[in-house]
Structure 1
Amino acid sequence: MGRAARIARRSFLIGSAALAGGVAFGTYLVVRDPENPLEASAGPGEVPITPYVLLDATGVTLITPRAELGQGATSVLAALLAEEMDLDWRAIRTLHGPPSPAYWNGVVAGEGLPIAATDDSYLAQAGRGIGAAAAKVLGLQITGGSSTVPDAYDKMRAAGAVARATLLRAAAAETGIDAGDLRTEAGQVVLPDGTALPYGALAGRVAETDLPDRVALKDPDDWRLLGKSFPGLALRDKVTGRARYGIDFYLPEMVHAAIRQPPWPDATIGNLDDSAARAVRGVSDVLQVGGSVAVIASGTYPAMKAAKLLRIDWTAPSGPREDSGDTQARLTAAFTGDARDSRLRDDGDVDDALAAAAEPWDAEYFVPYLAHAPLEPMSATAQLANGKLRIWTSTQVPLMLRDKAAESLEISPEDVEVTVLTGGGSFGRRLELDYALQAVRIAPHAEGRPVKLTWTREEDMTHDFPRPAAVARARGAVDDGGIGALDLAIAAPSTAASQMGRLGYPAMGPDVAIVAGAWDQPFAIPALRVTGYRATETVGVSSWRSVGASANAFFHESAFDELAHAAGADPLEERLRLCSDPASARVLEAVAELSGWGTDLPAGHGRGLAFCLSFGVPTAQVVEVATTPRGLRLVAGYAVSEIGRVLNPDNVANQMQGGMAWGLGHAMFAKLTYRDGVPEQDNFDSYRALRLPQCPPITTRALETSDHIRGIGEPGVPPAAPALGNAIFAATGQRIRALPFADHVTFA
């Protein structure tokens, strides 16, 4: 029998808030249940059992309130509910649901805290409890940080279980048969004589039925759906081309908009000549939107054509402008002065160990800015009519969008309706609100009609908030055939301060992202120090798939590999010798077995190993490369992660492969460079991505030996770059310390 979960009445699932959360925010605030947002919007005959389950005469609709961006969020959330409710997977109906504090994310808040994932002490658990409590009190509805599954695992199962128990109660009242003699199967309550009552037929009774205070969750051994591979809900539509994304959204009466944005964030419009734009057939208006200029037209094509014809003189910004020729020097300047942001790891006496070393080692590493560059550019549709605002877009922060949109038009948040659409990729870009708020500000000029704003690819690429560039200085020493000391200093602008600043909120305390994936690695190097330095921001930066770990794993694992070779140690054996976390050690052993680590390779081949613990997930990867007359060829990739429990093996494998391929492609080719503050790459011809013929076959394995439930969307990215760099060294003897690798070697 599964463990019991306590349920609120018809409002929300209380769950267990850590005592520290109650102390920090007041117990009442922490256990108080947000209103069920489905109650206000329910139509005739619709019965909201919980905020996640809506019943009517035609059946059940499941609310899956995390953005679907290609990572499978909708399907896995629906499966958690469907498993407990005994629903027929072939007949599942889902909605994203409205923006609401009821859909708070209690896991993502913990990612920004300086608590190592391997730390299960009372203080660490209390700290995570405070983060979860803060998320609930603040109503933090967000998709990100690989938090969808760990946040939903208990919450959604409990919601499904209480819905099933309520349906059984309703069926008992309807038939006079004791609920204990009833069972559920494929969306029906089955009577002892085999008669089946579809859930929808019980909607009226359910509306009159009290919810149970406690329910028992299924034992995983009894799962019928979870733990086995099941097709994603949108798989058929994606394969057949029928899937619809935000950019495909259409209403018969809508008009369309395109936009020209300034080359620099704080530039303003000095002079505007819109005569040529207004002469384009189908154009109805040209207007200024903040510091940008928008065109409204009958279609996307005339709007974009007219936007290109705008003649705009932009005033120069007063602040410093990014120039890629100076980026590395500017970042390293943060190592002097008072720019130190954190020192979250300081084991042993690093200074003494380095001073005593016969041959101290040092190196400097660099990673460039990286664009999000999702295949679907930014788009949003907005309609202002009769004082009510409606927004249709793909966003990872719908509640925040609702409130900021209301603030922008000076209306009440209750007068704003947000419909979240499927996104064609994001990688963190749709955490931002800029594109949607532009549509909101255009809407009052559309005479009550919905207006869809679509960015061109060039606008999308040149007005991104990229992954920050970063630099690391590493010093180390070997001792008795192994690594004895490592001093890692990392400088980067603050992602948290940049993102929060655009929303008008302060970012308090150190930015853990500057050192994430470096300070929290489970290796007991005798003398280890990791220090973060906050560099001056010249480009607005944002969260990018795996955030700080995407850069810091390259720094940490490249330095580790260099020191292991300097010590004459095998890189795998040295990691295992120093590994202080059993789950991480199992991952390293598994990837060694999977990849054949230590076995002979043909001449000109080399294997590279890298590890990173990010988002609570230990991940190890091996890359094999070969030298050819046409350049380096990636022969094979291997990835092993420990996520605690695999809910859908196919999707987990897809995410592991996709994360590694994403990391490899960016490490090989990608960089966003600036000249006089303006990005030089504006499309995929200049911002190179991994092509299918260059992607190696990637073999994956997901371990289930941990008690923790984790997400897998991001952890596959960080080890890819250092694994490839270490493989290049193994094959060629060339040690590359700055990305992308294509600046230094040729790939076949």
Structure 2
Amino acid sequence: MASLGKIARRGFLVGAAAVAGGVAFGTWRLRTPYPNPLAPGDGAAVLNPWVVVDGAGVTLITPRADKGQGAVQVQAALLAEELDVEPKAVRTAFGPAAPAYYNSVVVADGMPVAATDDGVIARLLREEVSAAAGKVFGMHVTGGSTTVPDAYETLRRAGAVARETLKRAAAARTGTAMADLRTEDGQVILPDGAALPYTELAAEAAEVEAPDFVPLRAPSAWRILGQPVERLDMAAKCTGTQTFGIDHRQPGMLHATVRTHPGWGAGAVSVESRAAERMRGVERVVEITGGVGVIADNTWRAMQAAEAVEIDWGPSPIAESTEAMWDDFAASFTEDRHDSRFKDEGDVDGALAGAEVLEAEYRVPFLAHAPLEPMNATVQVTGDRADIWTGTQIPRFVQDHVAGIVGIAADRVHVHNAMIGGSFGHRLEDLHVRQATELAMRVPGRPVKMTWTREEDMAHDYPRTMQLARMRGAVRAGRVEAFDLSIAAHSTFASQGPRWGVPASGPDVAIVAGAWDQPFAIPHYRVTGYRVPEGVPVSSWRSVGASGNAFLHDGFLDELIHAAGADPLEERLRLCRHEPSRRVLEAVGEMAGWDGPRPAEGRGRGVAYCLSFGVPTAEIVEVTETEEGLRIDAIYVAAEVGRVLDPVNLEAQMTGGALFGLGHAMFSELTFAGHRVEQRNYDGYRTLRLPQTPRIVETRALETTDEIRGIGEPPVPPAAPALANAIFAATGRRLREMPFAKSVRFA
């Protein structure tokens, strides 16, 4: 297929360029398009940013990273639906790092606009300002459950334009009217039934004028989208033949690992490496930013030698322990640490002044991403060119950072993206790539694969921030009357943005996401965010702020509902002022056969709701007390996604997200002692295991709105409060701190 470099593009919205007997197509939604990033190989035919045709077949460019969530599958399906090719009959490639693949939606969730706000200003911010920001910064980024909403129209349009251009080429060759041509299975079909394969038409398609606009097919005409299909990567993953970044091989490749400060923000005072340098297979031990790296002839020897290096570490500036960090959080509820107050309805102080006030304090711990594939990257630096083979969610930021380290132009840095063995947000960071680049520069011309040990991966995970919440509330006449929630947390974007090279200023919506924007008509309702001073560098974790804030918000809401003597589901429905959210709550109640929170002694069930990433999601968890501990019997998940494009994968994402949320609520935390992370491997960082998985996991996706949403993250936030509320119903114990295993025993 085509190699992935740079080529000029002609045309305004759609371009077609003759390249080595081929053609390239693409669509652009903003007025000034970025140049086409694809360049041909020998005899290849390139179809602008997303579709490539050559003599061997069709290649679909799927630029969003696939970290197990099925991004390649859905992107290929969007293109194939309009292009009239079978996804299994085509090749896919991630494409190069390029601003042409900017994400127009990823910025939207950081806007201080509720998803339920359909006003002119809200739509302007979500649809225009966020799209412009994504383009200006060339945000070739995968995250925020945005792959589907960002690609939904763009990739279908690219496939449609490519299809119609190929039909024009067929019409020019045969003299047949366009209206008499149709396409099917990668071919243009003539009126007499004769078929012209796309591969035979590519060169001619380059010479015809591509249409500026092609109407998209109605969902009623879809053949692929909306239908249950087998994922393109299923066979490879089931047979162990799927290639991930960690599997990459290059001729003459060296292997490496690193040891950096076990805390944060400091480096080595002294290094004694002579013993390590004498070990078998070791090429060299070198100092890098923050520590040392070992280059050897295989990964195991590099890791063994790294352990043999004697290092005197400098003092870390972060707090000494988790307890000291909680003190910093508790001290941040002050005016000078005030970050936002996007929700302030009614007269909260007045309502609380004349009522019996319920108060509580909730805590959410640091969490590691802890994906199965440790961070790794293969880098080769040769003259004024650098090549990186890795799995990343931020290829353009990787490109810029490596260019700065090597001292070359960004377009001389080539990022070859790979399948990712889990991320949960971890691959939104690139410290490992920068370290691999430093090592590769020590052996010019030789590719160096750098792999973190599990211990290094856990210690330098850029975790999800801790959260400390203080709440006050009141009820009146059997109803929730007042709700005052204050949340203290590190700013995710103030920490992560500068590492990307993106300026971070103003309030951070992530501090209160999943709390301030919940569609409940509580008469007196306030949510305030407080920014804790920077300490441990933090990063995006699956569902970001909402992952913990749903527990803070919905857990306390459940306390107020109980104090009011109301039914947990019925009171949420009464308060809900957003019709799609009401339907989700009704659906999950129907799925679980809800008739109250406590069907029998020693058993309980809890309901929870969270609106995150524009997706209303409700969950019900059922638990039973046993002699061995609490057993989770069932979890029911309902969400409004607007339109289901891949029902099989959507069910998998809803199931996986809910179980991911349960496991972390039950067992997971990242703690610090001596300025260092205490959990260094999976034995100390537990999550849900198969014997503890609920016997019943039932999901339902509603399609009652016109919105197109992603589902990778929204099922995570409601899991923790639903479980906590179920435990309360079963035991009478109100859990206000995660992980719950600190307070209860699980079977």
TM-score (norm 2): 0.96
The partner residue of 1:336 within 334, 337, 345 is 334
Deviates most, 497-506 or 699-708: 497-506
Task: Tell me the alpha carbon deviations over residues 691-740 of structure 1, each in whole angstroms, 9 at most, x when there is no partner.
Answer: 01101131000000011100000001000000000000000000010000
Q: Does 1:8 align with 2:8?
A: no
Preserved CA contact (<8 Å) 1:47 1:206: no
Local SS of the residue matching 1:381 = strand
Task: Tell me the alpha carbon deviations over residues 244-277 of structure 1, each in whole angstroms, 9 at most, x when there is no partner.
Answer: 1111111232110011111222222211111111
Preserved CA contact (<8 Å) 1:9 1:211: yes
What are the within-5 Å matches in structure 2 for residues 90-129 of structure 1?
A: 90-128=88-126, 129=128
CA distance in 1, matches of 2:624, 2:56: 58
CA distance in 2, matches of 1:376, 1:703: 33
Local SS of the residue matching 1:108 = coil
What are the within-5 Å matches in structure 2 for residues 645-724 of structure 1?
A: 645-696=643-694, 697-724=696-723
Amino acid at match of 2:666: M
Match of 1:200 in 2: 199
Match of 1:391 in 2: 388
CA distance in 1, matches of 2:176, 2:320: 73
The partner residue of 1:486 within 480, 483, 486 is 483
The partner residue of 2:552 within 551, 555, 560 is 555
Task: Tell me the alpha carbon deviations over residues 339-371 of structure 1, each in whole angstroms, 9 at most, x when there is no partner.
Answer: 0000000000000100111x2111000000000
CA distance in 1, matches of 2:112, 2:225: 33
Match of 1:35 in 2: 35
Match of 1:463 in 2: 460
Amino acid at match of 2:32: R
CA distance in 2, matches of 1:655, 1:265: 34
Local SS of the residue matching 1:587 = helix
CA distance in 1, matches of 2:424, 2:268: 31
Match of 1:74 in 2: 72
Amino acid at match of 1:590: A
Deviation at 1:337? 4.3
What are the within-5 Å matches in structure 2 for residues 122-271 of structure 1?
A: 122-128=120-126, 129-271=128-270
Match of 1:620 in 2: 618
CA distance in 2, matches of 1:342, 1:706: 30
TM-score (norm 1): 0.96
CA distance in 2, matches of 1:510, 1:154: 31
The partner residue of 2:413 within 405, 413, 416 is 416
CA distance in 2, matches of 1:180, 1:204: 22
Amino acid at match of 1:81: L
Local SS of the residue matching 1:650 = helix
Preserved CA contact (<8 Å) 2:624 2:632: yes
Amino acid at match of 1:43: G
Local SS of the residue matching 2:151 = helix
Amino acid at match of 1:559: F
Amino acid at match of 1:680: E
Preserved CA contact (<8 Å) 1:383 1:390: yes
Deviation at 1:90? 2.2
Preserved CA contact (<8 Å) 2:462 2:539: yes
CA distance in 2, matches of 1:488, 1:703: 30
Preserved CA contact (<8 Å) 1:67 1:143: yes
Local SS of the residue matching 2:241 = coil
Deviation at 1:173? 1.3
Deviation at 1:502? 2.9
Q: Does 1:365 align with 2:362?
A: yes
CA distance in 1, matches of 2:593, 2:659: 20
Deviation at 1:159? 0.3
Match of 1:444 in 2: 441
CA distance in 2, matches of 1:360, 1:743: 27
Preserved CA contact (<8 Å) 2:26 2:161: no
Deviation at 1:380? 0.2
Identity %: 55
Preserved CA contact (<8 Å) 1:188 1:196: yes
CA distance in 1, matches of 2:390, 2:573: 47
Q: Does 1:47 align with 2:53?
A: no
Match of 1:590 in 2: 587
The partner residue of 2:561 within 546, 550, 564 is 564
CA distance in 1, matches of 2:320, 2:595: 45
Deviation at 1:141? 0.8
Distance 1:88 1:502, change over 3 A: closer
Amino acid at match of 1:593: E
Deviation at 1:501? 3.0
Local SS of the residue matching 2:52 = strand
Q: Does 1:299 align with 2:298?
A: yes
Deviation at 1:44? 3.5
Local SS of the residue matching 1:35 = coil
Deviation at 1:12? 4.7
Local SS of the residue matching 1:627 = strand
Q: Does 1:521 align with 2:535?
A: no
Preserved CA contact (<8 Å) 2:546 2:612: yes
Local SS of the residue matching 1:723 = helix
Deviation at 1:602? 4.0
Q: Identify unmatched segments of 5+ residues in structure 1.
A: 1-5, 16-29
Preserved CA contact (<8 Å) 1:12 1:102: no
Deviation at 1:504? 4.7
Deviation at 1:243? 1.1
Match of 1:477 in 2: 474
CA distance in 2, matches of 1:463, 1:449: 27
Amino acid at match of 2:84: D
The partner residue of 1:382 within 357, 374, 379 is 379
Amino acid at match of 1:668: M
Tell me the number of residue pairs that the alignment of Structure 1 and Structure 2 aligns: 725
Preserved CA contact (<8 Å) 1:8 1:33: no
Amino acid at match of 1:223: W
Local SS of the residue matching 2:473 = strand
Deviation at 1:446? 2.1
Match of 1:405 in 2: 402
Q: Does 1:743 align with 2:742?
A: yes
Deviates most, 701-710 or 595-604: 595-604
What are the within-5 Å matches in structure 2 for residues 502-521 of structure 1?
A: 502-521=499-518
CA distance in 2, matches of 1:618, 1:112: 17
Preserved CA contact (<8 Å) 2:397 2:500: no
Preserved CA contact (<8 Å) 2:76 2:92: yes
Deviation at 1:322? 4.3
Match of 1:427 in 2: 424
Preserved CA contact (<8 Å) 1:328 1:366: no
CA distance in 2, matches of 1:289, 1:555: 41
Local SS of the residue matching 1:123 = helix
Local SS of the residue matching 1:445 = coil
Preserved CA contact (<8 Å) 2:637 2:700: yes
Deviation at 1:48? 2.6
Preserved CA contact (<8 Å) 2:377 2:432: yes
Deviation at 1:321? 2.1
Deviation at 1:279? 1.3
Deviation at 1:467? 0.3
Deviates most, 655-664 or 247-256: 247-256
Amino acid at match of 2:223: R
Task: Tell me the alpha carbon deviations over residues 3-36 of structure 1, each in whole angstroms, 9 at most, x when there is no partner.
Answer: xxx9433475232xxxxxxxxxxxxxx5101001
Deviates most, 192-201 or 707-716: 192-201
Local SS of the residue matching 2:480 = strand
Q: Identify unmatched segments of 5+ residues in structure 2.
A: 1-11, 17-24
